[in-house]
Chains A and B, each alone.
Chain A
């Protein structure tokens, strides 16, 4: 078991989830509370990473973030190195790749909040930030949990984007899914089995713990 890759994977998934929630909560709120046809286009755009095969997405990012585009050159000047083959590059890739998994549950959760409550809060003078922080997020906390869990897991299991953008550098871009793939490709099936079993076991335990915490206590719901 490659613990360095294990820690790196958890780090990547945590950073990605934190950024995604910070981006997806306001985005989902705009999609649910806003008006106008352009919102449909925005919602479609936010779902787009689901359509592209991950390796294709990774390839586009490799080209877009590389020194042959203005964006890539800007990043290179800013960081001193291209974003590809670095942890930062994987974070950018993962945030885009997992965006729909954070936005979709939040949109569904926010939309399920009783519109009468939203109208009442508005009448009482709550602006959009307050509306989101004090009404939507608390009432849709199960959706927030779902968004966080899905983003985290989707990033842990991410493979194509990392394969295209990572360059397999230990400690920087060699994630568990890459280790697993390497083990399989090198015919080391017993090591691959161990890695996969550890990953699956830990995921089940972590997920069960999260779902247990998020489960409503046996109360009047239903």
Chain B
């Protein structure tokens, strides 16, 4: 029995070594939750074009910031705002080397806030009037203290002078992906979510969205920063250049992000 276990262990260790020998470690990208529907195909194309493999972990930008502060092995941080990567840059943990100003995060896209409802919710189609309607019993919003889209949502409701009225009806989600889930499961009537989520095949089939006028909230500028202790700086720069290239920026536009140029 013991011999068998030892044998199995040896096999395991052996296969791990083989896996490690198969090329370099992939680039690890810490990506904001709104990129979840957008980034994986782009990373696939990037691998086909350059042979560089990149893997993304999706979480709220604040959570990723905590991870990087505590030494998580990421190479690139794609935030949903400028504040979190700036915080890492100021702490000396990340940088924007190679861009015009190496202490400012690299703007790679802008986000759009939408009001989303299910088609079977028995509510009028999403609009600013829906936000004023007493029929709206529960509105899902991402946590405004740490999710950039949540911050934008509260700013928009405040500009509409609706925040105080709606506050008791707001349910707070961990991030925009969960805000969408609260509405999609039918537990909330409507949600202020990202256009990237609303444009996914799944959500565009089950619901409809209304683009919140952009003058109601400060722009959701999404910034990138290179994690300074990366050992693959050249590959990270290739990925950043790829993200900012015209064809990929056009692709972002089709997925619900606004290109930066």
Contact partner of B172 (CB less than 8 A), chosen from A59, A62, A72, A168, is A168
Q: Known: A167-B182, A168-B143, A168-B171. Is A185-B187 also a contact (CB below 8 A)?
A: no
Interface membership of B231, Cβ < 8 A: no
Q: Is the CB of B66 within 8 A of A185?
A: yes
**Which A164-208 residues have C-beta < 8 A from chain B?**
164, 167-169, 182, 184-187
A-chain residues with CB within 8 Å of residue B172 when the two chains form the complex: 167-169
> In the bound complex, what is the Cα–Cα distance between A67 and B181 (angstroms)?
13
Interface size class on chain A is: 20 to 34
**Which B138-182 residues have C-beta < 8 A from chain A?**
138, 140, 143, 145-146, 171-174, 178, 181-182
Interface membership of B238, Cβ < 8 A: no
Stretch at the interface among A25-33, A77-85, A105-113, A140-148: A77-85
* B178 (CB) vs chain A CBs: closest residue: A164
Q: Is the CB of A185 within 8 A of B171?
A: no
Q: Is the CB of B174 within 8 A of A163?
A: yes
Q: Is the CB of A81 within 8 A of B145?
A: no
A-chain residues with CB within 8 Å of residue B178 when the two chains form the complex: 164
A-chain residues with CB within 8 Å of residue B138 when the two chains form the complex: 85, 167
Which of the listed residues B63, B185, B188 has the most CB atoms from chain A within 10 Å of its own CB?
A: B185
Interface membership of B71, Cβ < 8 A: no
Q: Is the CB of A185 within 8 A of B182?
A: no
Interface membership of B62, Cβ < 8 A: yes
Q: Is the CB of A185 within 8 A of B63?
A: yes
Q: Is the CB of B187 within 8 A of A186?
A: no
Q: Known: A168-B143, A169-B172. Is A187-B186 also a contact (CB below 8 A)?
A: no
Interface membership of B214, Cβ < 8 A: no
Q: How many residues of B contact A (CB 8 A)?
A: 22
Contact partner of B146 (CB less than 8 A), chosen from A63, A164, A185, is A185
> In the bound complex, what is the Cα–Cα distance between A152 and B60 (angstroms)?
31
> In the bound complex, what is the Cα–Cα distance between A164 and B182 (angstroms)?
9
Q: Is the CB of B186 within 8 A of A68?
A: yes
* A65 (CB) vs chain B CBs: closest residue: B187
Chain A proximity of B199: nearest CB distance (Å): 22
Q: Is the CB of A167 within 8 A of B186?
A: no
B-chain residues with CB within 8 Å of residue A169 when the two chains form the complex: 171-172
Q: Is the CB of B63 within 8 A of A67?
A: no
> In the bound complex, what is the Cα–Cα distance between A85 and B185 (angstroms)?
13
* B138 (CB) vs chain A CBs: closest residue: A85
> In the bound complex, what is the Cα–Cα distance between A61 and B126 (angstroms)?
27
* A73 (CB) vs chain B CBs: closest residue: B186
A–B complex contacts, Cβ < 8 Å, 11 sampled: A59-B181, A66-B185, A67-B186, A82-B186, A167-B138, A167-B172, A167-B173, A169-B172, A185-B143, A186-B62, A187-B66
Which residues of A does B touch, CB under 8 Å? Answer: 59, 62-63, 65-68, 72, 81-82, 84-85, 163-164, 167-169, 182, 184-187
A-B pairs with lowest CB-CB distance, top 6: A167-B171, A168-B172, A84-B187, A68-B186, A67-B186, A66-B186
